[in-house]
Amino acid sequence: MEFVYPAIEAVVVGAIKTMGYNLRIFGKENIPASGPALLASNHVGYLDFVFTGYAALKQGRRVRFLAKKEIWNNKVAGSLMNGMHHIPVDRSKDPQAAYQAAHDALVRGEIIGMFPESTISPSFVPRRGKTGSARLAQAAGAPLLPAAVWGTQRILTKGRPRNLQRKLEIIVNIGAPIPTHENDDVRALTDELMSQIEILLKHAQERYGQEPADDSDRWWLPAHMGGTAPRPEDVEHKLRGPGKPDPKES
């Protein structure tokens, strides 16, 4: 029997109500009532896992997220993460251990949560997905569950201070499961997943009812939407470094 996850759920629900967040969830019927699935979302803010996990909770499911091992370095956070059975990823030493733990959880019929981009996108436009999500789902015989979240970057994201503004709008959009098969090409499967995430994100952005307060508040919008977030190509150039090829061309 779980004790920590329900307690954290109560805290999250209370925080959403206290902050007056206008949280809207679309497509929650796509979350399977039972059995394994790998929930894969875009990544725009540090609280993405909270709100995508909350969407699954509305369907009576709990998501076990893969997260950077550094979170466990904090004793309180680490204890809570362990209590919720989230999975630490140690990229420098033993990433295979996290893969195996996630695989075993899927085989048990649980939902695993991952961010295929592996990091927050500074442009707020999805980057090319890494194949780990597809490989894991395929190995466990589980479907991929594409999702998009929008608005969380306004609360807390990379390079910005925490925003305690009330009544912010947040949208979570869950897509139809993508079946996986043993002989699927994982690169093609990943590209299909990211394509669905991009479609879900576009729909979330179209439904989003709030606008920047002024020009200084346009930072949370992508450049193609009239915002001042860095352009995707500039982000990729900075992350790759000079002289390295664009992975989208390979």
Q: How confident is the model at residue 237 (pLDDT cuts 50, 70, 90)?
A: confident
Mean of pLDDT values over 154-161: 97
Mean of the pLDDT values across residues 130-136? 97
The total number of structural domains in the chain stands at 1
Q: What is the 3-state secondary structure of the chain?
A: CCCHHHHHHHHHHHHHHHHCCEEEEECHHHCCCCCCEEEEECCCCCCHHHHHHHHHHCCCCCEEEEEEHHHHHCHHHHHHHHHCCCEEECCCCCHHHHHHHHHHHHHCCCEEEECCCCCCCCCCCCCCCCCHHHHHHHHHCCCEEEEEEECHHHCCCCCCCCCCCCCCEEEEEECCCECCCCCCCHHHHHHHHHHHHHHHHHHHHHHCCCCCCCHHHHHHCCHHHCCCCCCHHHHHHHHHCCCCCCHHHC
Q: Examine residue 148 and state whether it is found in any structural domain, yes or no.
A: yes
Assigned domain for 38 exists: yes
| pLDDT at residue 46, as a whole number | 96
Residue 249 pLDDT class (50, 70, 90 cuts): very low
How high is the pLDDT of residue 245? 59
Q: For residues 3 and 201, which has the higher predicted lDDT (pLDDT)?
A: 201
Assess contact for 64 and 2: CB atoms under 8 A. Answer: no
Mean pLDDT across the stretch 197-221?
Answer: 98
User: Is residue 229 a part of any domain in this protein?
Assistant: no
Q: Roughly how many angstroms between the first and final C-alpha of the chain, as a whole number?
A: 47
Q: For residue 244, is it within any domain?
A: no
pLDDT tens-digit profile of 31-87? 999 999 999 999 999 999 999 999 999 999 999 999 989 999 998 999 999 999 999
pLDDT at 10: 95
pLDDT in tens, 83-123: 999 999 987 777 789 999 999 999 999 999 999 999 999 99
Residue 154 scores a pLDDT above 80: yes
Exposure b/e, 123-155, CB count within 10 A at least 16 = b: bbbbbebbbbbbbbbbbbebbbbbbbbbbbbbb
Q: What is the mean pLDDT of the chain?
A: 94
- Note whether residue 232 is domain-resident: no
**Is residue 247 domain-resident?**
no
Asked if 132 contacts 91 with a C-beta cutoff of 8 angstroms, the reply is no
The pTM for the full model equals 0.92
Instruction: Note the pLDDT of residue 94.
Output: 79
Q: Residue 61 domain-assigned? A: yes
Tell me whether residue 225 is in a domain.
no
22: CATH: 3.40.1130.10
What is the per-residue pLDDT for 239? 77
What is the predicted pLDDT for the residue at 204? 99
Host domain of residue 137:
4-216
Per-residue pLDDT at 250? 44
Q: What angle do CA 109, 118, 223 make, to 5 degrees?
A: 125
